[in-house]
Amino acid sequence: MTKITAAITAVGAYVPEFVLSNQVLETMVDTNDEWITSRTGIKERRLLKEKGKGTSYLAIKAAEDLIAKANINPEEIDLIIMATATPDMPVASTGVYVASQIGAVNAFAFDLQAACSSFLYGMSTAAAYIQSGRYKKVLLIGADKMSSIIDYTDRATCIIFGDGGGAVLFEPNYEGLGLQDEFLRSDGIGREYLKIDAGGSILPPSAETVANGQHFVFQDGKTVFKYAVSGMADVSEKIMERNNLTKENVDWLLAHQANKRIIDATASRMGLDEEKVLVNIHRYGNTTSATLPLLMSDFEKQFKKGDNLIFAAFGGGFTWGSIYLKWAY
């Protein structure tokens, strides 16, 4: 029997219209465009401003974009994996609602949370379902409304994050294309450095936690930066080594867009030329679960069948890893 591999066969994306530029942030907190640009590479980010709209809105728009572009019948989708760190609600899966809204009436759905690595881990999960032979169409969506958990008086975090969504379809491939290898890691040491203290089971929300701003993201940026730089470079180098990939035969690096300096450090360890390193952080900032599918959507036209793509991510937890995938169209 021919081996089944799991290939990405379609991509979709959505970002909200509202643009928050560095210039406007200068009027909100003690920061400046020069600092943000040189320290992070970010120029602007998109925010979902309309009241009553949550992450599901971004996810539905991204899924609808994919469905329209690829001319998919949503009734044929078997499974929807919703990668997100900002679900619509703590209970009631966002993915289930998204599935119903896009007409995926024959699919089951669930959410997957691994902070900024949610989409990367989702790629592994989606691919495993396809490789098992059990399902034929798995829709992986990565979306986050980061603006719902950011304190816009905290310059350590509000300059970094943005809102967005992206989606990819995984299908069986019989030519050996698609996901080739993965190296995924996690380490609970990271829990103290990037977190939301309140709103979970340890510290349920109360008037006091809200008054203390404990429902917002806290990040010890310096420490996370240190772990991210070495973590993302280590796993990317490892996946190259064990697949006999060289800087010449890696075609594209798609790294989580958290900080341009972290992306550059990873690319440098891999020995990659600048034109192979895909970057859109200047336009969207860090959209958490959406960075990797937004990269695929923005650069899809440049990919060729058989291209070697390396994905890498690092996020809270800590969670991190890399994936080697051959583009299938």
Residue of 302, 262, 31, 241 lying closest to 157 (CA atoms): 31
Is 311 a binding residue for ligand UT7 by CB under 6 A? The answer is: no
Which residue numbers are catalytic? 116, 256, 286
Distance of CA 63 to the CA centre of its chain: 15
- When asked if residue 118 is in the footprint of ligand UT7 (CB under 6 A), the reply is no
Which residues have a Cβ under 8 Å from the Cβ of 67 and sit 6 or more positions away? 12, 74, 102
Pick the piece of the chain touching ligand UT7 (CB under 6 A) from 80-88, 153-161, 167-175, 277-285: 153-161
Q: Which positions ≥6 away from 226 have C-beta within 8 Å?
A: none
Q: Does 155 participate in binding ligand UT7 (rule CB under 6 A)? A: yes
Q: Which residue has the tokens 């970057």?
A: 279
Q: Is 156 in the site for ligand UT7 (CB under 6 A)?
A: yes
Q: Does 315 bind ligand UT7 (CB under 6 A)?
A: yes
Work out which of 159, 217, 295, 309 binds ligand UT7, going by CB under 6 A. 159
Between 73 and 268, CB nearer to ligand UT7: 268
Binding residue for ligand UT7, selected from 97, 216, 314, 327, defined by CB under 6 A: 314
State the amino acid at position 62 in one-letter form: A
Question: Does position 39 bind ligand UT7 by CB under 6 A?
Answer: yes
> Of 45 and 326, which CB lies nearer to ligand UT7 in the complex structure?
45
Please say which residue, 136 or 185, places its beta carbon nearer to ligand UT7: 185
Binding region for ligand UT7 (CB under 6 A) out of 35-43, 172-180, 240-248, 275-283: 35-43
Residue 250 sits in the site that holds ligand UT7 (CB under 6 A): no
Number of residues located near ligand UT7, criterion CB under 6 A:
19
Q: Which residues bind ligand UT7 (CB under 6 A)?
A: 31, 35, 39-40, 116, 155-156, 159, 221-222, 224-225, 228, 258-259, 262, 286, 314-315
